[in-house]
Amino acid sequence: MLRKMTKSISLFMIISFLACNLAADAARAGMIGTETALQAIGREEGLSIVTAFLEREDVRQAMTRQGVDVLEAQKRVAALSEAELHRIAQQIDQLPAGGDGVGTVVGALLLVFLVLLVTDILGLTHVYPFVTRR
Amino acid sequence: MAALLIVVFSVILAGCGGVAVREALDQSERLPGQAAVAAVPFYPQEELQCGPAALAMVLSWSGLPVQPGDLAGEVYTPHLQGSLQSALVASARRHSRIAYPINGPEELFAEVAAGRPVIVLLNLAFSWYPRYHYAVVIGYDRPAETVILHSGTRSGERLSFRVFDNIWARSEYWGLLVLPPDQMPVAPDEKAWLAAVVGLERAEQWQAAAVAYQAAAGRWPRSALSRIGLGNSRYALDDSAGAIEAFREAVRLDPASAIAYNNLAQVLAETGRIDEGLAAARRAVELGGPHQDSCRRTLAELLEQHSGPRPGPTR
């Protein structure tokens, strides 16, 4: 079962790899993309096509590690530009993910609760909606 | 004791909040004292789903009625128990909307005063104990010193400038404007706009990209890049005549653009206008530049087509 799954995943990877290559070839044969034209003005230092491709792959894999399914991760990565991926790839494991703050804090330590309560009252933070401050 | 120390330390570090937000309003002469964006629907978030909720609110405002539940699969990352900024950006694009970055209070208030809601990333707690949260800014009130937001389970929540500045500064004032492709930010930066439209191309939203490039061409009449983008989008939409027109405009505006000549050559050749295509391809190669390999290849291919299918004596 697991073996079958691994097999279908690697097949998928091979196909998507091929698809990427084909797309790159198609671009080379005729049309030059707008993204390339835009980068010609201020292309980030050292960001080659190869790095860009590898970064896209890195970010996609990081997403699947974080519980996003393979196809969906592919789509999320596809909609980002090279420059955007370059920024993400540098710090993929430390990016802020907006959750909600409230639910997770309920279970926090009493100490943390008290600190945040005080800072909420001081207006430095806004963790507890019941603390309203002007 | 430790807690007390931390609190005292934090007070020293972040004692004077709200200044940036207040100054942004006071320094701008054009911004009104109060503003409220009409018709931003409120979707209360479910646990951990502030990202999908915030995006659903602005997408609905922009004319695409969606519910947070429809977006969770595109935006939320299970193991992180939250949504990454890049996922919001990508999802907006996948729904044919421009995702334009907003940096700081001045840009934020300018958009809100112009009637646009803005997604902001807030860190409700501290950098050493981050609690990231997305909310939608829908108004502000200078006399009352409050910012008005749809946030979490609270519709139209009012936060003082001080609190809002403290918690927004901790995300480095990250904001996101989501617009239909024919609408521009109040003070758009050409490069930032084109980069946002390239994102639509990435998401294969060609129709929206073409509309957005057209808007760029109207806003920056001398921008050759927006014509190249327009040409490429029309080409992807199989509108050869439109693409040729856009590339011709691009080479008129920037006669040194090898890319514009190269792409013009390719479309001309594909529509059977080989001679005109060859002339443009030759011009692209003459101009040289970082893409001369691609230009040479295009020329070689056109030459092959030119001599290939033609009947007549061989050798």
pLDDT of residue B310: 53
For residue B221, count CB atoms less than 10 angstroms from its CB and return exposed for 0-12, middle for 13-18, buried for 19 or more: exposed
- The verdict on A89 and A128 lying in the same domain is no
Give me B240's structure tokens. 């050869």
- Contact between B146 and B223 under an 8 Å Cβ cutoff? The reply is no
Question: Is position A72 within any domain?
Answer: yes
Contact criterion met (CB < 8 Å) for B132 and A96: yes
Question: Is position A29 within any domain?
Answer: no
Domain of residue A71: give its range: 34-95
- The verdict on A85 and A109 lying in the same domain is no
- Contact between B278 and B306 under an 8 Å Cβ cutoff? The reply is yes
- The verdict on A82 and A52 lying in the same domain is yes
pLDDT in tens, B256-315: 999 999 999 999 999 999 999 999 999 999 998 888 889 999 999 999 988 865 554 444
Give me B151's structure tokens. 């946030």
- ipTM of this complex prediction, to 2 decimal places: 0.80
Rounded Cα distance between B75 and B96, Å, is 15
- The verdict on A62 and A41 lying in the same domain is yes
Indicate the SS3 state at residue A97: strand
Contacts of A68 in chain B (CB under 8 A): 77-78
Contacts of A134 in chain B (CB under 8 A): 160
Contact criterion met (CB < 8 Å) for B48 and A37: no
Would you tell me how many other CB atoms lie within 10 Å of the CB of residue B3?
A: 15
Pick B7's closest partner by Cβ from A72, A76, A115: A115
Contacts of A28 in chain B (CB under 8 A): 293-294, 297
Contact criterion met (CB < 8 Å) for A122 and B298: no
Residue-wise DSSP of chain B: -HHHHHHHHHHHHT-S-SHHHHHHHHH-SSS-SEEE-S-----PPPTT-HHHHHHHHHHHHTT----HHHHHHHHEEGGGTEEEHHHHHHHHHHTT-EEEEEESHHHHHHHHHTT--EEEEEESSBTTB--EEEEEEEEEETTTTEEEEEETTEEEEEEEHHHHHHHHHTTTSEEEEEE-TT---SS--HHHHHHHHHHHHHTT-HHHHHHHHHHHHHH-TT-HHHHHHHHHHHHHTT-HHHHHHHHHHHHHH-TT-HHHHHHHHHHHHHTT-HHHHHHHHHHHHHH-STTHHHHHHHHHHHHHHHHSS--S---
pLDDT of residue B4: 55
Indicate the SS3 state at residue B146: strand
The pTM assigned to this predicted structure is 0.84
Pick B77's closest partner by Cβ from A29, A67, A81: A67
Mean pLDDT of all residues in chain B? 91
Contact criterion met (CB < 8 Å) for B81 and A97: yes
Closest CA to B186 of B18, B26, B31: B31
- The verdict on A39 and A88 lying in the same domain is yes
Question: Is position A50 within any domain?
Answer: yes
Contact criterion met (CB < 8 Å) for B263 and A31: yes
Residue type, B184: M
- The verdict on A72 and A116 lying in the same domain is no
Residue type, B205: Q
Minimum mean pLDDT among A79-88, B88-97, B233-242: which range? A79-88
Question: Is position A17 within any domain?
Answer: no
pLDDT in tens, A79-110: 998 888 888 887 777 788 887 654 444 555 77
Question: Is position A12 within any domain?
Answer: no
pLDDT in tens, B130-169: 899 999 999 999 999 999 999 999 999 999 999 999 999 9
Contact criterion met (CB < 8 Å) for A31 and B194: no
Question: Is position A26 within any domain?
Answer: no
- The verdict on A38 and A79 lying in the same domain is yes
Residue type, B194: L
Contacts of B122 in chain A (CB under 8 A): 98, 126
Contact partners, residue A6, CB within 8 Å, separation at least 6: none
pLDDT in tens, B39-92: 899 999 988 999 999 999 999 999 999 999 999 999 999 988 999 999 999 999
- Distance to chain B for A4, nearest Cα, Å: 25
Average pLDDT over residues B108-137: 94
* Count of structural domains within chain A: 2
Contacts of A104 in chain B (CB under 8 A): 48, 81, 131
pLDDT of residue B315: 46
Contact criterion met (CB < 8 Å) for A101 and B78: no
Rounded Cα distance between B261 and B268, Å, is 10
Closest CA to B162 of A17, A132, A66: A132
A–B CB contacts, 8 A cutoff, strictly below: 213
Contact criterion met (CB < 8 Å) for A78 and B201: no
- Contact between B116 and A105 under an 8 Å Cβ cutoff? The reply is no
Contacts of A66 in chain B (CB under 8 A): 77-80
Question: Is position A10 within any domain?
Answer: no
Tokens 């393979």, residue located: A70
